[in-house]
């Protein structure tokens, strides 16, 4: 990482400050501004005069009151950015609302911050909202968190009370995998331990609040991360087309080759434009700068496309995991459609499934597949087309998103791509300049010769569900009935066509793609191809359906207990023993088909019954003419 020259000032540190509505957060801010000489001249006196006029005691919280509604209700209802500085550093303090009704505004505030201050009342201790705020900070990826135990004057500046609260909140934050940078006892009203050590708390050997802030690490530079340049708009001047946007991470210069996602188009930067214009040519720009880009060739691009360097592109997928904080008016349930906003992109998503629900107040896991207001959940979302994504762990800024229900903000969250393969290689394979050749024999001629249609039965299910048993039995029966039929089995494919592939998520996805392409060729030749593959991901099976014209999904549905009891190859036993990683059904998910053409519950019905239903299905959909008719004219 590039180091800042010794003479260069430290960049401003954005800090979000959160806390329960009555725990004195605004008082902490007001006093902090006063103690660092950051208030506008005469502001304190003005507040004092206003308080006296209203017959109210002087409150440092009134320093922040910019809205009459806040004075009347006594709560902060929006996020406010406040700039102040100490001798060591400049700060941008983001005042986020504490009232439960305004949590959605807090998400906006936390998304901009690089560190956080959590304010807690020394008398009341941690409340449900305190835990909610802490979990939200974790959800938004803030790792640097300091805790302020306020109103120590109310408990007589007791060391024992401070230690109790310090240990309690420390355990809570540890459960959330949050790192505590420090816990400071203060009395904001009295100015104790804000900028100078408190005589009432001589037992505290730690830092003051301002000293703690100055010791926080600088935010990691977004410029050192891979380039992410979301297109905000495209402007046309004369013959020029200028792509405008803000660089969210990385660096950009003339001559760079850019890859645009999800369209997968590329071009070279012929020039950079800035406002106001910079003198000379050949300048570069980095994270945080708004620039215009001209390309060496015309591309049809739209708002929301994401530019990157070809060496570090974003992930392409139509399915991904996410952790969200739900704020919607109605519970979130599977199949609900929402709009996801991230940077300049906006696209629809559907909740495919809920993996885990956590009550943000108690931090306990909740059963069921519905996410209620103010709950946190691990979910799987699906988009109707490929989207450019970054996992939150790789790029915190680009890995965050907001969910909209209609026009309302219904939640916020972070992206996880664990367990899913990047679909860019598949997209690129389809885009290569390769032309198909035409056969001299038409599909109709093949059908008439074979007396049945070509197509694919895709048998999916857990290991041990009976897929291969049924596939080979069906192959023999159909062969005896005169069908051209062949089984493509997972184990056999691994010994040939896919012998170069391992068992990573990417390799498994590529394995399914190869099988789908091979099965499509069998179908095109007039055969009934029987594909027997676990194929656990709906997205992989959906791609197979897109490759194969006459595709029929058969869910061989046996529950995990039944499959594990059979365990014909001893795989479950090995997986339980830790010998096999990411084994479907044990340590990896199986996504049950939605809308399969045929479902066979082999845990209930025997092989003969399932085979009979399969034969009836094939005869009804693949046979061209009724039995007994044998006169075909070609």
Active site residues: 535
Asked if 141 and 134 touch (Cβ cutoff 8 Å), the reply is: no
Q: Which of 298, 496, 263 is nearest to 388 (CA)?
A: 263
Asked if 460 and 537 touch (Cβ cutoff 8 Å), the reply is: no
Cα atoms in the Cβ-side hemisphere of radius 13 Å centred on 257: 7
The DSSP H or E segment spanning 561 is helix 560-566
**How far is Cα 51 from Cα 74, in angstroms, rounded to an integer?**
14
**How far is Cα 245 from Cα 238, in angstroms, rounded to an integer?**
20
Q: Which of 346, 317, 93, 359 is nearest to 232 (CA)?
A: 346
**How far is Cα 577 from Cα 583, in angstroms, rounded to an integer?**
11
**How far is Cα 185 from Cα 162, in angstroms, rounded to an integer?**
7
Q: Which of 14, 12, 46, 10 is nearest to 30 (CA)?
A: 46
Q: Which of 191, 15, 209 is nearest to 109 (CA)?
A: 15
Is the bond leading into 262 cis (omega within 30 degrees of zero)? yes
Q: Which of 133, 139, 238, 152 is nearest to 194 (CA)?
A: 152
Residues 6+ apart with CB under 8 A from 352: 319, 334, 379, 380, 381, 382, 538, 591
**How far is Cα 44 from Cα 47, in angstroms, rounded to an integer?**
5
519-523, Cβ contacts within 8 angstroms, sequence gap of 24 or more:
519/456, 519/458, 519/488, 519/544, 519/548, 520/456, 520/547, 520/548, 520/549, 522/454, 522/456, 522/486, 522/488, 523/454, 523/455, 523/456, 523/548, 523/549, 523/550
Asked if 112 and 16 touch (Cβ cutoff 8 Å), the reply is: yes
Structure tokens at 554: 């058969």
Q: What is the DSSP string of 106-118?
A: HHHHHHH-SEEEE
Residue 202, burial from CB neighbour count under 10 angstroms (0-12, 13-18, 19+): exposed
**How far is Cα 216 from Cα 194, in angstroms, rounded to an integer?**
16
Asked if 459 and 532 touch (Cβ cutoff 8 Å), the reply is: yes
**How far is Cα 16 from Cα 144, in angstroms, rounded to an integer?**
11
**How far is Cα 210 from Cα 91, in angstroms, rounded to an integer?**
11
Q: Which of 525, 539, 550, 551 is nearest to 458 (CA)?
A: 551
Is the bond leading into 276 cis (omega within 30 degrees of zero)? yes
Asked if 306 and 261 touch (Cβ cutoff 8 Å), the reply is: yes
The residue with tokens 């909610």 is 132
How far from 208 is each of 15, 155, 390, CA to CA, in Å? 17, 19, 38
């Amino acid at each position: 990482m590039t180091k800042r020259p010794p003479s260069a000032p430290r960049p401003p540190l954005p800090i979000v400050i959160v806390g329960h509505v009555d725990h004195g957060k605004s008082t902490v801010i007001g006093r902090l501004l006063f103690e660092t000489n950051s208030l506008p001249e005469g502001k304190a006196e003005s507040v004092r005069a206003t308080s006296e006029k209203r017959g109210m005691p002087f409150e440092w919280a009134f320093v922040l009151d910019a809205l009459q509604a806040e004075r009347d209700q006594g709560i902060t209802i929006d996020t406010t950015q406040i700039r102040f500085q100490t001798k060591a550093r400049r700060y941008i303090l983001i005042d986020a609302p504490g009232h439960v009704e305004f949590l959605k505004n807090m998400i906006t505030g936390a998304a901009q911050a690089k560190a956080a201050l959590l304010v807690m009342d020394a008398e009341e201790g941690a409340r449900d909202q305190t835990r909610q705020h802490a979990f939200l900070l974790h959800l938004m990826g803030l790792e640097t968190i300091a805790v302020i135990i306020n109103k120590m004057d109310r408990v007589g500046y007791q060391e024992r009370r401070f230690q109790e609260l310090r240990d309690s909140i420390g355990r809570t934050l540890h459960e959330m995998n949050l790192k505590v940078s420090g816990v400071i006892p203060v009395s904001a009203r009295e100015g104790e331990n804000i900028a100078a050590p408190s005589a009432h708390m001589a037992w505290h050997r730690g830092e003051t609040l301002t000293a703690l802030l100055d010791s926080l690490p600088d935010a990691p530079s977004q410029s050192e991360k891979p380039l992410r340049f979301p297109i905000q708009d495209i402007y046309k001047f004369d013959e020029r087309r200028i792509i405008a946007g803000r660089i969210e991470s990385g660096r950009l210069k003339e001559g760079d080759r850019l890859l645009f996602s999800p369209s997968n188009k590329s071009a070279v930067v012929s020039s950079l434009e800035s406002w106001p214009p910079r003198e000379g040519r050949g300048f570069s720009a980095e994270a945080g700068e708004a620039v215009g880009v001209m390309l060496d060739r015309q591309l049809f691009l739209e708002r929301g496309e994401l530019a990157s360097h070809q060496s570090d592109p974003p992930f392409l997928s139509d399915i991904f995991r996410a952790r969200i904080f739900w704020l919607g008016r109605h519970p979130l349930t599977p199949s609900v459609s929402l709009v996801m906003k991230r940077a300049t992109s906006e696209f629809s998503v559907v909740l495919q499934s809920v993996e885990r629900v956590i009550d943000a107040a108690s931090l306990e896991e909740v059963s069921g597949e519905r996410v209620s207001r103010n709950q946190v959940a691990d979910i799987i979302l699906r988009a109707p087309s490929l989207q450019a994504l970054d996992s939150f762990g790789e790029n915190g800024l680009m890995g965050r998103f907001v969910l909209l229900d209609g026009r309302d903000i219904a939640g916020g969250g972070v992206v996880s791509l664990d367990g899913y393969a990047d679909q860019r290689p598949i997209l690129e394979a389809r885009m290569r300049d390769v032309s198909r050749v035409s056969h001299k024999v038409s599909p109709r001629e093949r059908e008439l010769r074979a007396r049945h249609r070509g197509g694919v039965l895709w048998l999916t299910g857990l290991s041990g569900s009976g897929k291969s048993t049924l596939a080979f039995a069906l192959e023999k029966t159909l062969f005896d009935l005169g069908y051209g039929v062949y089984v493509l089995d997972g184990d056999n494919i691994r010994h040939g066509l896919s012998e170069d592939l391992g068992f990573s998520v990417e390799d498994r996805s590529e394995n399914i793609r190869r099988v789908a392409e091979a099965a499509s060729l069998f179908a095109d030749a007039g055969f009934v191809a029987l594909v027997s593959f676990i194929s656990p991901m709906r997205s992989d099976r959906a791609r197979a359906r897109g490759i194969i014209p006459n595709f029929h999904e058969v869910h061989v549905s046996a529950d995990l207990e039944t499959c594990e009891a059979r365990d014909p190859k001893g795989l479950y036993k090995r997986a339980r023993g830790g010998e096999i990683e990411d084994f479907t059904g044990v340590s990896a998910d199986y996504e049950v088909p939605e809308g399969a053409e045929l479902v066979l519950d082999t845990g209930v019905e025997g092989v003969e019954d399932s085979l009979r239903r399969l034969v009836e299905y094939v005869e009804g959909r693949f046979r061209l003419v009724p039995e007994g008719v044998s006169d075909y004219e070609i």
